[in-house]
């Protein structure tokens, strides 16, 4: 697989940010917010699951490119934070999927995992793609 450019990784990260926002809305509907019908709630949960797998694919694609072609770096606080948050996004995603698919006794903790994952995606976007877009790629 060829290396992704910073432009491509930033675009994928922005797509992941959009997916994270849709995930927040779909799980709110799926858990009963807004008084939607049971059919709409089931549809929202299905869309949430699909968005999660799409997000996982994007995260793994970008992570592979970063790890294989760039490697872990700690040249600045921003870069070190990006590396740690990237690893935490992967861990939270797999933890959330594992609980949702197999460890039902921990199911009540899914909102905590979801909130932490959402926060990690948002912060990581700001210190990576956001930095690239708004700082004019200074520091890359």
What's the predicted TM-score (pTM) here? 0.85
Position 11 pLDDT exceeds 80: yes
Which tens digits make up the pLDDT trace of 85-129? 999 999 999 999 899 888 888 889 999 999 999 999 999 999 988
Mean pLDDT in residue range 37-58: 93
Position 21 pLDDT exceeds 90: yes
Nearest to 126 by CA among 87, 82, 93, 84: 82
Question: Can you list the pairs that 120-123 forms with residues at least 24 positions away whose Cβ atoms lie under 8 Å?
Answer: 120/85, 120/88, 120/89, 120/92, 121/16, 121/17, 121/20, 121/89, 122/17, 122/20, 123/81, 123/85
Cα 48 from Cα 128, distance rounded (Å):
25
């Amino acid at each position: 697989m060829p290396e992704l450019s910073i432009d491509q990784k930033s675009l994928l990260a922005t797509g992941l940010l959009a997916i994270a926002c849709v995930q927040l809305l779909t799980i709110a509907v799926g858990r009963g917010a807004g008084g939607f019908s049971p059919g709409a709630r089931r549809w929202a949960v299905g869309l949430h699951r699909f968005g999660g797998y799409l997000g996982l694919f994007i995260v793994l694609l970008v992570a592979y490119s970063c790890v294989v072609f760039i490697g872990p770096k700690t040249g600045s606080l921003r870069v070190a934070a990006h590396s740690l948050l990237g690893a935490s996004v992967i861990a939270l995603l797999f933890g959330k999927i594992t609980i949702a698919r197999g460890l039902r006794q921990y199911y009540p903790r899914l909102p905590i995992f979801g909130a932490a994952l959402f926060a990690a995606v948002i912060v990581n976007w700001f210190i990576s793609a956001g930095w690239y877009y708004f700082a004019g790629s200074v520091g890359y």
